[in-house]
Amino acid sequence: MNYSSYIALIPLLPMAAFVLLGLFGRKYFNKSAGIIGTGLLLISTVLSIYTAYQYFFVDGKVGDTYQTITALKFTWLSFSDTVSIDMGIILDPISVMMLVVVTFVSLMVHIFSLGYMKGEERFATYYAFLGLFTFSMLGLVVSSNLFQIYMFWELVGASSYLLIGYYYQKPSAVAASKKAFIVTRFADLGFLIGILILAFYGESLDFNTIIQNLTAQQSSQFVAITSASFIGVSAITWGLTMVFMGGAGKSAMFPFHIWLPDAMEGPTPVSALIHAATMVVAGVYLVARLFPLFAINETALSIVRIVGVVSALFAAIIACTQTDIKRVLAYSTMSQIGYMMFALGVSGNGGEDGLGYTASMFHLFTHAFFKSLLFLGAGAVIHLVHSNDMKDMGGLRKYMPITHATFLIACLAIAGVPPFAGFFSKEEILLAAYNSSMIVYAIALLTSGLTAFYMFRLYFSIFWNKASSPLERTGGEAHNDHGEGTFSMKLPLIFLAVCTIGVGFIPFGHFVSTDGKVLETPFHLMFSIAPVAIGLAGIGIAMYLFLYENECPEKYSKKLGGFYRAAHRKFYIDEVYLFITKKVVFNLIGRPAVWIDRNIVDGLMNGIAATTAKVSGLIKGIQSGKIQNYTLYFFAGIGSLLIVFIYLWKQ
Amino acid sequence: MSEVPLSHILFVSTALFFTGMYGLFTRRNLITMLMSIELMLNSVNINFVAFNKYLYPEKLDGIFFTIFIITIAAAEAAVAIAIIINLYRSHHSIDVEDATEMKY
């Protein structure tokens, strides 16, 4: 089966939606923009599911190994015979999986937004941006080379910027969008350097060629990249670490995570799509894409592992103390991506060792469903309550039965309660960590307990906690006129809830593994006792503290004292950044640079201009406009020429 | 009757030339300046004729040049007078000091 006949349509249809709605949307289709965007994306979704079916069940396998298929490839920029930049589409297990995830979640978000964003003035613009984002993300996952992935990487960054700043009248949204852009941009600088290093030594931009060149122990490229070094670290470690820096920026890993909580200023469905399910896992995807390279370099892999573990634990602690429901979810996302990262970090390449890789991709897959479900549920709650803060909520279960049920399913999934999706994927990650290192396993276990605790803190605070709902307390019956939301808002919740229950049973190791072969992931009953017990304990504590309104949470947070306050203030990371940028960078780099610019660069130019003006002022008197002066000069000239030629110019 | 020596004639033409130059520099009236230029041209004519007659009496080159110069001078006078008339129309004066538009 030839994929190239339709594969390009998958990213191009959302692009078409972007162009159409971006150019003509506000004028002609402001009402129908949602339907147009959703319709085009629906076709894309169907095509990607068909592609996945074709790839996984019909012709992706040769023998017992999944092949990497180049479905489309053309040279985009040709610099010389050997150096060129291609554009292409490759299909391998992870890119096909991502195609399905991105189109499906994006479709759910498109449908949800039909109700959520109804009546917005820039409705068409919103759908145009969503189309742009979906296009870029799809382009990113099918990229066949480093340069192409970098371009789409920046495009998702730009569309994320546009969507976070969608409510551009709000100063906080503008600040958040700038922060997201600048922080990820800064990390992308590392990515670019990494690309240049890898491409320089790998002598190609193409993923397959680079991996082939740099993993073969005898190849000249491998020898070159391992023997070249900079401050005692070999070039390959530098390259991979720099690439990982870009991935960490996009995936909001510590210490580049600061933009993610603020990015919650965007519309909630956008948070579900970009900042939970798709864009933020791009970093994980990137590491997975280059995994054969990471696997041969222990240093780079251990950086991935450490950053992942630290982010997972760190974010989980902060999430326990936040009161803005979207921020809790944002930190939870960061924590779960930390899981995916360290799962890659503990993985080996090939065979049984590759369990971490499979587990990471599996968690990415399940996380996309339950986290977007959580965000969309939170969106429905915010739509009803018109507030992000937990203390404005409570007792909502009677008002929004469907949201309540689906939210509960998602919370159980993320807490790792069987038989929901999160249980299976987290189980595999923990197993991979257990096989690799006890410390990582212990931290991961602790984090999973914290995860259960903060998710159920969130759940109880929204739907239980108070006897009466906020709507009754404020007498806000007027709020209640739209009830739980339109049908278009409930439908995605139900779809995603079904997926959240179902996808855990997919034997993921059969499809995605490091070497393309089937990886059996046996289910150990004994092993899963500890995580489930810890998860249930977390739920129990949350229930004790938050099921009904009581004094306990207050009391315990007082007891924790300084630690609680530090966690509540997000461990002062933002302040540290502000200090570094304002006090150190501005004073030591910014100000001298400005001084040099103003005084030396500008001064040079101004000096040249001023000198010219002065000289011309001095000599302009010659051009007096008086004809007799001119004749005088004329005769004086002739006179002096005569003197020269008659008396001085002797042979 | 002894001939007038060449140096006397050259003396006259030089005097004539510098008289014209002096007039060109000092007079502010355009017509007077034009007349001064004519004086200088005529001093050159005298030179041409004198050299022709005294040094190469068998040739006519100098005389031809003189005729050329007289013709050109006539044309030049016509053009100059036309310019002066136009200047007078626009500035109501033929004083060179009054026409300084082409200043820096």
Q: Which residues pair with A74 in a beta bridge?
A: A87
Average pLDDT, chain A: 84
Q: Which residue has the tokens 């969503």?
A: A130
What element of type H or E holds A107?
A: helix A93-116
* Minimum distance, in Å, between the CA of residue B67 and any CA atom of chain A: 25
pLDDT digits (tens, 9 = 90+) for A386-412: 878 877 777 787 778 888 888 899 898
Cβ neighbours for A470, distance < 8 A, ≥ 6 positions apart: A385, A392, A393, A394, A395, A396, A476
Which pLDDT score, from 0 to 100, does residue A137 have? 92
Residues A164, A168, A171, A176, Cα dihedral to 10°: 10
In a domain, B103, yes or no: no
For A190-214, give the DSSP string: HHHHHHHHHHHHHT-SBHHHHHHHH
pLDDT digits (tens, 9 = 90+) for A534-579: 888 888 888 888 777 777 777 777 777 777 777 777 777 778 888 8
Q: A242-275 burial string, b = 16+ CB within 10 Å, else e?
A: bbbbbbbbbbbbbebbbbbbbbbbbbbbbbbbbb
Identify residue A636 by its one-letter amino acid code. A
pLDDT digits (tens, 9 = 90+) for B59-88: 899 999 999 999 999 999 999 999 999 999
Identify residue A516 by its one-letter amino acid code. G
pLDDT at A518 over 80: no
Nearest to A361 by CA among A66, A28, A31, A2: A66
CB pairs under 8 A between A and B: 28
A348 DSSP 8-state letter: -
| 8 Å CB contact of A626 and B101 | no
| 8 Å CB contact of A628 and B96 | yes
Q: Which residues pair with A229 in a beta bridge?
A: A234
The least confident of A44-48, A223-227, A423-427 is A223-227
| Domain total in chain B | 1
A135 with A14: CB under 8 angstroms?
A: yes
What element of type H or E holds A88?
A: strand A84-91
Mean pLDDT of A200-215: 82
Q: Is the dihedral of CA A344, A345, A351, A355 positive or negative?
A: negative
* Minimum distance, in Å, between the CA of residue B62 and any CA atom of chain A: 22
Q: How far apart are CA A311 and CA A308, in angstroms?
A: 5
For A404-428, give the DSSP string: HHHHHHHHHHHHT-TTSHHHHHHHH
Nearest CB neighbour to B96, from listed A621, A623, A627: A627
Mean pLDDT of A367-377: 90
In a domain, B57, yes or no: yes
Identify residue A451 by its one-letter amino acid code. T
Name the band, by pLDDT with cuts 50, 70 and 90, for residue A610.
very high
Which pLDDT score, from 0 to 100, does residue A477 have? 46
Task: Using a CB–CB cutoff of 8 Å, tell me whether A617 touches chain B.
Answer: no
Q: Which residue has the tokens 């302009």?
A: A620
| 8 Å CB contact of B24 and A620 | no
Nearest CB neighbour to B25, from listed A623, A624, A631: A631
* Minimum distance, in Å, between the CA of residue B41 and any CA atom of chain A: 15
Residue A322 CB neighbour total at 10 angstroms:
22
Mean pLDDT of A289-301: 87
> What are the distances in angstroms from CA A73 to CA A14, A147, A148, A605?
20, 14, 12, 48
Task: Using a CB–CB cutoff of 8 Å, tell me whether A169 touches chain B.
Answer: no
Distance of CA A160 to the CA centre of its chain: 8
Phi and psi angles of residue A329, each rounded to the nearest 5 degrees, phi first: -65, -35
pLDDT along chain B (104 residues), means of 10: 84 94 90 93 94 90 93 94 92 84 72
Which pLDDT score, from 0 to 100, does residue A478 have? 44
Nearest CB neighbour to A635, from listed B21, B96, B104: B21
Nearest CB neighbour to B103, from listed A625, A632, A635: A625
User: In the numeric block, which tokens belong to residue A336?
Assistant: 């779960």
Name the band, by pLDDT with cuts 50, 70 and 90, for residue A482.
low
pLDDT at A228 over 90: no
For A60-84, give the DSSP string: SEETTEEPPEEEEEEEEEE-SSS-E
Distance of CA A38 to the CA centre of its chain: 22
Residues A554, A557, A558, A561, Cα dihedral to 10°: -160
Closest residue on chain A to B23 (Cα) = A628
Q: Are strands A233-234 and A229-230 parallel, antiparallel or unpaired?
A: antiparallel
Nearest to A160 by CA among A148, A146, A176: A176
pLDDT at A648 over 80: yes
In a domain, B42, yes or no: yes
A107 with A45: CB under 8 angstroms?
A: yes
| 8 Å CB contact of A635 and B96 | no
Closest residue on chain B to A622 (Cα) = B104
Residues of B in contact with A627 (CB under 8 A): 96, 99
What percent of chain A lies above the pLDDT cut of 70?
A: 96
pLDDT at A107 over 70: yes
Domain containing residue B79: CATH number: 1.10.287.3510
| 8 Å CB contact of A625 and B101 | yes
| 8 Å CB contact of A628 and B104 | no
| Selected residues 235-264 of chain A with any CB under 8 Å from a CB in chain B | none
Q: Is the dihedral of CA A208, A276, A534, A412 positive or negative?
A: negative
Name the band, by pLDDT with cuts 50, 70 and 90, for residue A469.
low
pLDDT digits (tens, 9 = 90+) for A61-86: 777 778 888 878 888 888 777 777 88
User: In the numeric block, which tokens belong to residue A411?
Assistant: 């919370």
Residues of A in contact with B99 (CB under 8 A): 625, 627
Name the band, by pLDDT with cuts 50, 70 and 90, for residue A467.
low
| 8 Å CB contact of B104 and A631 | no
- Name the interface residues of B facing A (CB cutoff 8 Å): 21, 24-25, 28, 33, 96-97, 99-104
Name the band, by pLDDT with cuts 50, 70 and 90, for residue A483.
low
Nearest to A99 by CA among A33, A44, A38: A44
Domain that holds residue B55: 6-98
Using DSSP, state whether A464 is helix, strand or coil: coil
Which ipTM was obtained for this model? 0.82
Q: How far apart are CA A508 and CA A424, in angstroms?
A: 10
What element of type H or E holds A89?
A: strand A84-91
pLDDT digits (tens, 9 = 90+) for A180-204: 898 888 899 999 999 988 888 888 8
Identify residue A380 by its one-letter amino acid code. A
Closest residue on chain A to B33 (Cα) = A628
| 8 Å CB contact of A623 and B103 | yes
**Mapped to the 3 state alphabet, what secondary structure does chain B carry?**
CCCCCHHHHHHHHHHHHHHHHHHHHHCCEHHHHHHHHHHHHHHHHHHHHHHHHHHCCCCCHHHHHHHHHHHHHHHHHHHHHHHHHHHHHHHCCCEHHHCCCCCC
Which segments of A128-258 are extended strands (E)? 229-230, 233-234
pLDDT at A479 over 70: no
pLDDT at A533 over 70: yes
In a domain, B72, yes or no: yes
Which pLDDT score, from 0 to 100, does residue A154 have? 92
The model scores a pTM over 0.95: no
